């Protein structure tokens, strides 16, 4: 509920009143009792930021957040291929063979 500012045109009394948007504006002045109140156009309440910080991306749409999340996640097929390749290479690995000695043309 907003706070409205009122001013009496008769006695110049000025005050604030907390009331719902849907209610009618006040007409009777609490000081002089005459029906000369007018509701002033105020600047409204200031925004109060509390917390560690606020960023432009804090209020992104749900569709943007979903597409950003899907871009971050690696596809499951890529992960499966990497896992299967590393398992197969372990199974097929053979012990290293000793290199054969170099052949020479000179018989002894």
Whole-angstrom distance, CA of residue 103 vs CA of residue 67: 64
Q: Where are the alpha helices (DSSP H) in the chain?
A: 62-72, 76-92
Residue 67's region, left for phi above 0, alpha for psi from -120 to 50, else beta, is alpha
Mean residue pLDDT across the chain: 75
Q: What is the pLDDT of residues 17-37, one digit of tens each?
A: 988 889 899 999 999 999 999
Does position 68 have pLDDT exceeding 70, yes or no?
Answer: yes
Using pLDDT thresholds of 50, 70 and 90, give the confidence band for residue 3. Answer: confident
Domain boundaries, the chain: 3-40
Whole-angstrom distance, CA of residue 29 vs CA of residue 13: 8
Sign of CA dihedral 93, 94, 98, 99: negative
pTM of the model: 0.40
Whole-angstrom distance, CA of residue 108 vs CA of residue 103: 12
């Amino acid at each position: 509920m907003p706070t409205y500012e009122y001013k009496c045109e008769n006695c110049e009394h000025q005050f604030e009143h907390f009331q719902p948007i849907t209610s009618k504006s006040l007409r009777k002045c609490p000081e002089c009792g005459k029906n000369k109140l007018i509701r002033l156009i105020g600047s409204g309440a200031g925004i109060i930021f509390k917390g560690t910080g606020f960023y432009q991306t804090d209020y992104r749409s749900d569709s943007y957040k979903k597409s950003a999340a899907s871009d971050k996640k690696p596809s499951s097929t890529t992960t499966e291929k990497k896992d299967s390749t590393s398992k197969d290479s372990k199974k097929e690995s053979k012990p290293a063979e000793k290199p054969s000695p170099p052949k020479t043309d000179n018989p002894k």
